[in-house]
Amino acid sequence: MITTRALTKVYDGKVAVEALTMEIRSGEIFGLLGPNGAGKTTTVRMLAALISPTSGEALIGGYRVGEQDAAIRRLVGIVTETPGLYERLSARENLEIYAKLYGVSNVTRQVEKYLRLLELWDRRDDPVGTFSKGMRQKLALARALVHEPKVLLLDEPTSGLDPQMTKVVRDFIAELKEQGRTILLCTHNLDEAERLCDRILVLKTRPIALDTPQALRRRLFGRRIIVTLEAVTDRILERVRALDFVLDVQQEDRRLVIALSDPERQNPILVRALVEVGAAIRFLTEEAHSLEEIYLRLIEEEERTSSLPSAPDRAEAPSAR
């Protein structure tokens, strides 16, 4: 649905986005995850044809960004980082302006639909200047949706919202996916990316990793199972070590941390073996790593590899002495 090839943006000699190649599938929530300054907003602005790339290309729904922008505008809804709304106009008037701009055929019906869906109907005639941050964000979502776009570009849609409103917006995004829309979600929030996204591209000017949240975890950490027992005995430990598919076992008090290659298949056999030697199992869970850890590792990895060729002086220093 969205394809970019070597998409690059340079501002006054400073690279903001470098060689971004990605393919966003129809119907998925695709996360663009990166710290502040990673190039997320720049990417969205290029896709929305608000700024032109320095090089590379982008297509949305087969339309070429920068050439077929009218068609793209019909297909795409955007929520920018700080949505500009007409402060003195009412919520309804704000939506009506956009609906007309987009050539929506039944403006009244579409505006009512989204004001109700986002629970702004009771405040429809109040000036937006009186709205809370959360209400404004909901109105920005309504505005992005009023022309029923198939694709949504959401730039940090929950930033600055309180936990309750964050949940409302996240649930709403999940619903949009259920309706079959394709969503590009920019976020610096790892938890958000993990909860919502089918796939995540970790961006730090350059793309540094692309995978499902689960696969990103597995790739960096392997998989480990934690079995909590009533008591760990030598006999139990020996039995577990004797299983040929067990890659590693660590004992931590009453817990066994066991590395496995394929826990879905191996857990039942492991449990049977444990029960046979009299182990009383209290819990069995997979060790969870936060995306935060994954993210930091990827960034470190990226910094290590990218600093190698660009620091020849440091590498040569010992031989100079």
- Residues at the site binding ligand ADP, with contacts judged by CB under 6 A: 11, 16, 34, 36-42
| Closest distance to ligand ADP from the beta carbon of 69 (Å) | 19
| Closest distance to ligand ADP from the beta carbon of 315 (Å) | 27
| Closest distance to Mg ion from the beta carbon of 157 (Å) | 11
Q: Residue 271: name the closest of 250, 289, 246, 247 by CA.
A: 246
Token pair recorded at residue 236: 């139990």
Considering the complex, state which of residue 42 and residue 94 has its C-beta at the smaller distance from ligand ADP: 42
Q: Which does 38 bind (CB under 5 to 8 A by kind): Mg ion, ligand ADP, none?
A: ligand ADP
Considering the complex, state which of residue 8 and residue 42 has its C-beta at the smaller distance from ligand ADP: 42
Q: Which does 37 bind (CB under 5 to 8 A by kind): ligand ADP, Mg ion, none?
A: ligand ADP
Q: Is 190 helix (H, G, I), strand (E, B) or coil?
A: helix
| Closest distance to Mg ion from the beta carbon of 14 (Å) | 15
Q: Which does 204 bind (CB under 5 to 8 A by kind): Mg ion, ligand ADP, none?
A: none
Q: Is 187 in the site for Mg ion (CB under 5 A)?
A: no
What phi, psi does 64 have (nearest 5°)?
-85, 125
The one-letter code for the residue type at 13 is G
CB-based contacts of 248, cutoff 8 Å, min separation 6: 258, 259
Q: How far apart are CA 296 and CA 278, in angstroms?
A: 41
Q: Which does 291 bind (CB under 5 to 8 A by kind): Mg ion, ligand ADP, none?
A: none
- 281-286 sheet: strands from edge to edge: 246-252, 255-260, 223-229, 281-286
| Closest distance to Mg ion from the beta carbon of 203 (Å) | 11
Q: How far apart are CA 281 and CA 284, in angstroms?
A: 7
CB-based contacts of 316, cutoff 8 Å, min separation 6: none
> Total number of residues binding Mg ion (CB under 5 A)?
2
Token pair recorded at residue 320: 């100079």
| Closest distance to ligand ADP from the beta carbon of 41 (Å) | 3
Closest chain position to Mg ion (CB): 41
Considering the complex, state which of residue 34 and residue 149 has its C-beta at the smaller distance from Mg ion: 34
Query: Among 4, 41, 158, 266, which residue sits at the site for Mg ion (rule: CB under 5 A)?
Result: 41
Q: How far apart are CA 37 and CA 163, in angstroms?
A: 24
Binding site for Mg ion (CB under 5 A): 40-41
